[in-house]
Amino acid sequence: MARLFGTDGVRGVANRDLTVSLTLNLAQAAAKVLGETARNEGRRPIAIIGRDPRISGEYLASAVAAGLASSGVDVFDAGVVPTPATAFLTADFSADFGVMISASHNPAPDNGIKFFAAGGHKLADDIEDQIEAAMQSELLAPIGGAVGRVQRFADAEDRYLVHLLGAIPNSLEGLKVVIDCAHGAASAISPQAFADAGAKVIVIGNDPDGLNINSGYGSTHMSALQSAVLENDADMGFAHDGDADRCLAVDHTGAIVDGDQLMAILALSAKANGTLARNTLVATVMSNLGLRIAMEDAGITMLETKVGDRYVLEQIREGGYTLGGEQSGHIIFSRYATTGDGILTALMIAAESKATGKKLSELAAQMKIYPQVLINVRGVDLSRVDSDAGLQEVVREAEAELGNTGRVLLRASGTEPLIRVMVEAADEGTAHSWADRIARVVEKNLGL
């Protein structure tokens, strides 16, 4: 039987894969596992629930609340808030755990459920396994006054907004900024945060109707933001995804600034002001070679993890680091957040531009982007990607030619039955040439 939890909670098409009965059972099992410490201490567990505005979240939130309350957990429903807000509120309210209902950047028919442990941290694999096992066990069924209560978390947004504003180091007065909210969970709070910080704000993608989340707007559809920045002669623009745990940017010329460039800006700034713990940035193996070179040139250590913000988070926590993230725009500031926070990222980038007097284009130019070609090869034996002699020989040949000006990355996808071939080089033609050649060897040698 396949594992229920994926790399970021439990996801699927709402009402087909992610049914009400599954959601209810999952919540009851989570109450049993995540509420155990509170029960052992003789108190009633407390949980925070947040969701993005997709239509299925309305009834899935009710199912989660029912499963938790029927298991003796007091529930505080924060309503529509970003994923990082749910994580923050879990810690700020000293809740025993939190639940976020969202499918992030996926389209409206999808949804997902992720849990945060006490303190707002994502769950370790073994805790997820315990919850999954508990779904098959006898669940809690208190009666009378022992059942939980469900109430609205009335000041959830205000608490999170105050937290965001307290994190940024300086005013944004004088900046004109476009915010693309992806018709998602950031639609109210991101524009408010920027306005309260002093910026002049133009907002797009901020009219969620439950069905339009991530549709034509947001960090997976950057053209709307590019156009809005140019049309409004803005200094910069920021795009969130549906649950606002990621952020990509656009400079005043309409050029996209990706997550690697944002990390470079933030790492260099943190080193300069003495807040980059252990002089280290944590990123994934998919980050651009240009980020590694920029960090090396600045005397900053860059640690690599597997793809997935949870692995970046694990490395940050284990090493006591303060900054890390992914090319996709999941950026983690461990001094202020326990997960990627797209609104905080945008505020920090804008604050750096204001403090230095430099345009975002100038800040982004601190890192050179190397051409990166990615080819997905399907219908192959994933287990042999690291052991096939012919494939390893062509990879060694590519690496010898590329030297310090490029790299090759082969990996089996963790979410799809395919092998990813990624090649970076100093020029686009070389990257394409080697990626195509290696992909052909993968197909020939590993084909099923």
CA distance 344 to 414: 28
What is the rounded distance in angstroms from the CA atom of residue 75 to the CA atom of residue 97? 10
The phi, psi pair for 105, rounded to 5°, reads -90, 0
**Dihedral over Cα of 382, 383, 385, 389: its sign:** negative
To the nearest 10°, report the CA torsion of 33, 340, 336, 35: -10
**∠ Cα 414 420 421 (to 5°):** 155
Those residues with Cβ within 8 angstroms of residue 179's Cβ, 6 or more apart along the chain or in another chain: 186, 190, 191, 194, 201, 202, 203, 204, 206, 237, 238, 240, 346
Evaluate whether 242 touches 52 at the Cβ level (below 8 Å). Answer: yes
Residue among 102, 104, 334, 353 flagged as catalytic: 104
Angle (deg, nearest 10), helices 259-273 and 342-356: 60
- Report whether 176 contacts 233 (CB < 8 A): yes
Task: Report how many helices (DSSP H) and strands (DSSP E) the chain contains, helices first.
Answer: 15, 18
Assess whether 104 carries a catalytic annotation.
Answer: yes
Annotated catalytic residues are 104
